[in-house]
Structure 1
Amino acid sequence: RVARLFEVDANHKTRLDEATAGQIVLLAGLRWATTGDTLCAPGHPLWLERIETREPVLGLAIEPQSSADEEKLLEALDKLQQEDPTLRVEEDPETGQRVLRGMGELHLQIAGERLRREFNVNIRVGNPDVVTRETIAGSAEAGSLFHRLIEQPDGKKLEMKAGARVAVAPMLRGAGIAIDAAPRVRPEGVELNPAQRDAAAGGAEDALASGPATGAALQDLAVRVLEVELFGASSSPSALRVAVAEATRKALAQAGGLVLRPIMNTEVVAPESDVGAVLGDLQSRRAVIRDTTTLGEMTIIHCDCALDRLLGYITDLRGMTRGRGQFTMTFDRFDIA
């Protein structure tokens, strides 16, 4: 329920009794509404397309300076995530640290400042951690035979047995993941039931959760379940799922992993007299220069550069240009850098 209605002008708010079409207003009291939701009259339902959000590409370990602020920090982080869908809070399974992820250094700095200023939570942060993805270097094919005897509480043994053969192949950047789970079935004349067919696709999906190089999530590859071998009642959906997952992991390891880093579409503005030094510095960061444009005394450089090589770049840029340089960046894609 809307408690109050305001018209907003910069940092000034003026209370209103009503708003008409075309006005930009602030609604207070919407406890359960989040960014991207559509508000409408109950008698005239309307659903507008949500804002497209990107996956976060940079993370910072974050913790309260005082353990007494732990619950307060969790509530504040939850509120920030409701307002900004590109912010994510995750827990590192290896270290147990809480990681705040966003779209870049500035994005995370602003989130940290809001925690201090608006929610009165003092925090400690770690070093930036750039999110990576993986793909495979080539095509490969592998098989696996899964066989286990599991002892049941009643003393009986449950046999699980199934075989699978899987092929993997790389795809173009941005193509995503393609899984073909329509295999040949051995022995001939036997068909997969719906549960077994779902298990074959699920096994391939399980194996794609981590790549062979760094354990990052995989993308831009095709997985094809070529063949499965069934052994009667022993080939339960669970057994088949494990067999397909093992075969997929073997094929991925044979294909070899490639690390994909976030590539940022970057615009650098620098005085014309300092362009040579700025270009040299960008090339040392392995940036791909796309074009340069001169506008008065300033030159605009458009380039693609890996995010991990732009951490702290604003300090170096200002040093090279005596404080006159600036840059902006937006996420473009995950790619080999």
Structure 2
Amino acid sequence: MTIMNIFRTRQSINAIECLGSLIQINSARCFSQVKDKEIKHPSIDRIRNIGISAHIDSGKTTLTERILFYTGRIAEMHEVKGKDNVGATMDSMELERQRGITIQSAATYTLWKDYNINIIDTPGHVDFTVEVERALRVLDGAILVLCAVGGVQSQTLTVNRQMKRYNVPCLAFINKLDRLGSNPHRVLTQMRSKLHHNAAFVQLPIGLESDCKGIVDLVSERALYFEGNFGMNIREDEIPQDMRTEAKERRQELIEHVSNVDDTLGEFFLEEKTPEVSDLKAAIRRATLKRKFTPVFVGTALKNKGVQPLLDGVLEYLPNPGEVENIALIEKTGEETEKVLLNPARDGKSPFVGLAFKLEAGRFGQLTYLRCYQGMLKKTDTIWNARTGKKVRLSRLVRLHSNNLEDVNEVFAGDIFALFGVDCASGDTFLNTARRDLSMESIYVPDPVVSMAIKPANNKDRDNFSKAIARFTKEDPTFQFAYDSDVKETIVSGMGELHLEIYAQRMEREYNCPVVLGKPKVAFRETLTGPCEFDYLHKKQSGGSGQFGRVSGILEPLPAPNNTGLEFTDETVGTNVPKQFIPGIEKGFRLMAEKGLLSGHKLSGIKFRLKDGAHHIVDSSELAFMMAAQGAVKQVFEDGSWQILEPIMSVEVTCPEEFQGTIIGQLNKRHGIITGTDGTEGWSSIYAEVPLNDMFGYVGELRSMTQGKGEFCMEYSRYSPCLPEVQDKIIEEYQRSFGIVPEEKKKSKKN
């Protein structure tokens, strides 16, 4: 090969390398800009903390994926279902990619027009509602995503209540305009009637379903078309001729809705002046921040239309951290709690105050998500947990991009970040001073609604099972674990069957510990229906010192209010039963009460009245009298009349009024007794008493009956006699476990 050919070959190789470098630089161009600008700490008005919330399958994660792509945070987009074996950026868990749903909320941050936007993508399924709760607790604004076909659905109502609880202003984004049957006008009507929002369009779609071409911006009165690869190029144009009348009417409607809640725009309206674009935007912003108005955006995230104007809306209409009042509480002994307004300035002069809102087991230990509300925090600083008083020295500060971590040296008020190796609980307040009287309001945690029995499939996996339970119960306060000594089972409780099923799958995948989930047993009780006398002699002689003890008395039922307890009374007179043997008799009675002979459940609601007995000067002992007491209880089992008690639960069902009759009918089918009803603002509350044994599987039935809008809670009320057919079934199952065939079955076999 000549020198010239070698030179040309090298030139070609260099050219190819340069081209490859250019491609890499181009794909990472925006991302590097994000990182470079992140180093410069922006002013408070250049920060937005937002959450994306909606009913399941409304397109939240797809929308977040588009936002990250258009802001240059990711180089390429992937679909939620993971058909290309990659999946959406924010669905980092393997289970999320397989099922195509969001299970855990995920945090990220990005840049749009020199504004820092911290985003939390939340789950839509009601079973993971606590993820939405803790995200909205620390966010300043939110995007409420609605499906153009489904409209306001069950979880939309729940999310709306959560936003109201934490006073979070929001924008509405009607997504999926490309779907068959999409109708954004119907969705707006539902927002006004079902969510009670003062809402109006700020955008209109140009065409629907397969004909969706772009959107009309009613504020600036321009048409926007999304062209080029992935809708990157936005072309402005005049409003189409056939839409000008509708656009004019809808703009006037927008002005009317805003002027009803904003005095400045109201004056324009009364004077019949046409507001300028800047005046209208300022009025929408003021009304949105006060939660008196909800601007409604439209688009289709999947088809890459309407996402960039929505980002502009986030900057223009949602608050920065300095515009939100955040309050800490100072508890004073014997006095009322004092409220302190936190300073959101990013100058670092005020003491640090942060709230831990989420815990997660990371690769390097526990990862604690925090929101900084006041002051600043540097790497190597020392902070205190206000609840426990524990001191922590920080070795690492990170910001989050889904499951990727990026180290930072300092964080300021308004930032969302994470720490490693901090032992705390969700909702703890952290300070950089040792004072313990200051804390922030914690996170609302709903009570679990479903319980299931759980056990590892293999006994050798018990260590991993314990580790998994310890981790998941700490991370998720709605996932609870308890051991029921009555039925000798471990019970897990959660927000739904899917919730518990997901954790069971995670135990198998992450801890190599397959588990078995099943219906938990009900803690039935056995009791007497009437008093029964006993007189029992325990006598045993086999050479040497024997055993002798005689007890007589009455076993009787306690009054109904005390039917969960056991009582023992010594009514003996004289020395027939020496006093030193009385504890042995009581012990024998209580041992027998641990397992009844009728169904194997505990005895309750029984009083053991010891009236008389006899002893032997040599052979009597505490053990002999304990055996005598046990024999006496067995004697009463044969002579007395017994019944089984079952736990009755106080149940409260909340649902829209139109489902009230259906729910009352279903509760009656489950042997429930309706004790009262209540109603307000289109919602109805039904109070009932239902046997616990009939409440299994009710959550799924309730959601299907009420289109997912119904909720219920229950707590223990009392024990009550169960129905005869239930009692017969329990006794039969107990006898079958010992291989005993009931008499009726024996006769039928002979015949």
Fold shared by both chains (TM-score > 0.5): yes
CA distance in 2 between partners of 1:91 and 1:177 (Å): 15
Alignment gaps of 5+ in structure 1: 1-5, 31-56, 93-97, 151-155
- Say yes or no: does 1:315 pair with 2:700: yes
Is 2:589–2:629's contact at 8 Å kept on the other side of the alignment? yes
Structure 1 residues 149 and 132: alpha-carbon distance in aligned structure 2, compared to 1, 3 A threshold = same
- Say yes or no: does 1:177 pair with 2:566: yes
Structure 1 residues 80 and 89: alpha-carbon distance in aligned structure 2, compared to 1, 3 A threshold = farther
- Say yes or no: does 1:123 pair with 2:540: no
| The one of 48, 62, 71 aligned to 2:455 | 62
Q: CA deviation at 1:207?
A: 2.1
| The one of 251, 255, 258 aligned to 2:643 | 258
Q: State the Cα RMSD in Å.
A: 3.8
Question: Which residue of 1 is the match for residue 383 of structure 2?
Answer: 17
SS in 1 for 2:600: coil
Flag the structure with higher strand content: 1
What are the residue-to-residue correspondences of 1:4-153 with 2, within 5 Å?
Answer: 7-10=355-358, 12-13=369-370, 17-20=383-386, 28=422, 60-64=453-457, 69-77=461-469, 87-88=482-483, 99-101=489-491, 106=495, 113-114=502-503, 116-117=505-506, 120=511, 121-150=513-542
Please tell me the residue identity of whatever aligns with 2:646.
R
Alignment gaps of 5+ in structure 2: 1-353, 360-368, 372-376, 393-420, 425-449, 723-751
Is 2:453–2:519's contact at 8 Å kept on the other side of the alignment? yes
CA distance in 2 between partners of 1:160 and 1:144 (Å): 13
Please tell me the residue identity of whatever aligns with 2:383.
D
- Say yes or no: does 1:243 pair with 2:243: no
CA distance in 2 between partners of 1:203 and 1:193 (Å): 15
Q: CA deviation at 1:24?
A: 12
Identity percentage of aligned residues: 18
SS in 1 for 2:603: coil
CA distance in 2 between partners of 1:263 and 1:214 (Å): 19
- Say yes or no: does 1:192 pair with 2:578: yes
- Say yes or no: does 1:210 pair with 2:210: no
Structure 1 residues 184 and 77: alpha-carbon distance in aligned structure 2, compared to 1, 3 A threshold = farther
Is 1:166–1:244's contact at 8 Å kept on the other side of the alignment? no
Q: Which structure has the larger Rg over C-alpha atoms?
A: 2
CA distance in 2 between partners of 1:307 and 1:25 (Å): 45
Question: Which residue of 2 is the match for residue 282 of structure 1?
Answer: 667
Larger mean Cα displacement after TM superposition, 224-233 or 174-183: 174-183
Question: Which residue of 1 is the match for residue 553 of structure 2?
Answer: 166
Q: CA deviation at 1:203?
A: 1.8
CA distance in 2 between partners of 1:257 and 1:60 (Å): 28
Q: CA deviation at 1:312?
A: 0.6
Q: CA deviation at 1:62?
A: 2.0
1:246-267 Cα distance to aligned partner (Å, 9 max, x none): 1123224433222222211111
Structure 1 residues 320 and 170: alpha-carbon distance in aligned structure 2, compared to 1, 3 A threshold = same
CA distance in 1 between partners of 2:590 and 2:684 (Å): 47
CA distance in 2 between partners of 1:271 and 1:29 (Å): 42
Structure 1 residues 248 and 319: alpha-carbon distance in aligned structure 2, compared to 1, 3 A threshold = same
Question: Which residue of 2 is the match for residue 53 of structure 1?
Answer: none
Please tell me the residue identity of whatever aligns with 1:148.
K
Structure-1-length-normalised TM-score? 0.72
Structure-2-length-normalised TM-score? 0.35
| The one of 262, 269, 285 aligned to 2:654 | 269
1:106-128 Cα distance to aligned partner (Å, 9 max, x none): 58975665465476343222333
Larger mean Cα displacement after TM superposition, 211-220 or 238-247: 211-220
CA distance in 2 between partners of 1:280 and 1:221 (Å): 36
Q: CA deviation at 1:230?
A: 0.9
Is 2:545–2:618's contact at 8 Å kept on the other side of the alignment? no
Q: How many residues align?
A: 291
| The one of 273, 289, 297 aligned to 2:682 | 297
Q: CA deviation at 1:22?
A: 10
Is 2:585–2:629's contact at 8 Å kept on the other side of the alignment? yes
Higher relative contact order (CA 8 A, sep 6+): 1
Please tell me the residue identity of whatever aligns with 1:327.
F
Which 4+ stretches in 1 moved above 6 angstroms?
A: 21-27, 78-86, 89-92
Structure 1 residues 190 and 254: alpha-carbon distance in aligned structure 2, compared to 1, 3 A threshold = closer
Is 1:271–1:324's contact at 8 Å kept on the other side of the alignment? yes
CA distance in 1 between partners of 2:452 and 2:609 (Å): 34
Q: CA deviation at 1:149?
A: 2.3
SS in 2 for 1:232: coil
Is 2:677–2:684's contact at 8 Å kept on the other side of the alignment? yes
Flag the structure with higher helix content: 2
Question: Which residue of 1 is the match for residue 713 of structure 2?
Answer: 328
